[in-house]
Amino acid sequence: MKLSFQKSIASSQATLPIVAIVVFALWFLLSPVQPSLSFSTPDYGLWKDVPSFLQEGYWALGIGAFCAALAVYLMAELNNANVLLRVNSRMLSSMLAILLCIAVLCHRFQPGSIVMLFSLTSFFSLFATYQQPNPLLTFITFLLVSVASLVFPRLLWLVLVYWFIQGYFRAFSLRCCVASVLAVMLPYWFYGGIAVLTGSLEDFLIHCQEIISFQTYDYTQLEVRDVLLYAFVLILFMTGVIDFYLHQYMDKTRTRIIFNALIVYGIAIAIWIGIQPQHFSTLLPLLLLPTSIVFGHFFTLTHTRFSHIYCIVLMVLAVVVLVAQYIPINLLHLTSYL
C-alpha cells in the first residue's frame, strides 16, 4: 500500500489555512492550563507592570492568539527569506501553529509569548549575518534579545549562544562584539535612568540581580503533564535533528549551517529547561521554534513508508499529550502511587 499523506499535506496550499482554522477554534475551546508559578515574581522583571486584566480570561487568550498568529507569520517569512525547505511549502509555520496549540499552557498571554516573538524576530538579522560581519545587523539581533530580557532577565544568558552562532557563521568581529555589548546594555541604560528618575532604583537592582541568580528546583514537584509535553517536543526535535543529519547533503551549504545553528539553539534551550523547569512555560515557546523547523523539514521532505507510520504514531501521541495536560499529577504523587 502506498502512503502519501505526508507529501500531500506538505505540498498543499490549503494546509496552513486549514491548520489556522482548527488551531483558532481549539485555542478558545480548550481552557488554558494554569502554571504553578506566579509571573509577578522578580524572575519575570517588568512583567509585573503588565495590567492584570490582560493576563486573565478572554483578554489573555485573545492576546495569546494574536502573538501565536504573529509568530506563525514570522516563521513563514523566515522560511521565505532563508529558503529553509527545498520545496514550496508552508509546513514550518503550520507546524509551529500545531505545536503552540498542543502546548495548552502557551495559549494565554505570558512572558513566554513576548520572549518567543522577540527571539524569532532576532533570527532574521542573525541569519542575515552569515559570512558577512555586520555591526548593524548584530546590534539589532542582540537588541531584540535584550529587550525581551526585560520580562525575563535570565534570557540574557542566550547572548552566549548567539555569540557562538555568529562565530560559527564566521560573522563575528571586534566591531560586531562591541555592537552586541552596546545592544545588550542599551535597554538597561534606559531602564536604569527611568528607575533613578522615578525612585525605583531598588527594583532595577533586583532585576539585574535576577540575571545571575540561580535557584535549585525540587523535581518531585514537576507535573506529569509538563514532563509528557517536554518529552513529546524533545522527540519531535530529535527526530528532525537525526533526519537532517542523515539527509543534509541534499541541502545547500548555507541551509545546513543555519540548521546546525538552530540545533545548537534548541539543545541549549532543552538543557536550560532540564536545569530550571520552574521556567518551563516561558522557555517552552523558545524550544518550539527550532523544533517546528527541524521536524517540519522532516515531515515535508521525508516520504518513506516508515516515516508515514511514524508520523501517524506521533499524531496519536499528540492527542494523548493534549489530554494529559488536564490531569494535574506531580511526579511525587505518581511515584507514591506506583
Reported as a single tens digit per residue, the pLDDT across 208-238 is 988 888 877 877 778 888 899 999 999 999 9
pLDDT of 330: 67
pTM of the complete model beyond 0.85: yes
- The boundaries of the domain holding residue 16 are 5-337
pLDDT of 165: 96
Distance CA 134, CA 111 (A): 30
Nearest Cα neighbor of 281 from 161, 104, 134 is 104
Q: What residue has cell string 531584540?
A: 144
Distance CA 121, CA 54 (A): 23
pLDDT of 1: 43
Four-residue CA torsion sign, 277, 280, 286, 292: positive
Phi, psi for residue 85 in degrees, rounded to 5: -115, 150
Nine cell digits for residue 41: 515574581
The parts of the chain modelled with pLDDT lower than 50 are 1, 337
Q: How many domains does the chain have?
A: 1
Contacts of 17 (CB under 8 A, 6+ apart): none
Core vs surface per residue 158-190: b (16+ CB within 10 A) or e? bbebbbebbeebebbeeebeebbebbbeebbee
pLDDT of 336: 54
pLDDT of 337: 47
| Dihedral angle, C-alpha 121, 125, 131, 136, nearest 10 ° | -150
Nine cell digits for residue 224: 506529569
SS3 at position 330: strand
Q: In angstroms, what CA-CA distances link 44 with 61, 148, 153, 195, 254?
A: 20, 10, 7, 17, 36
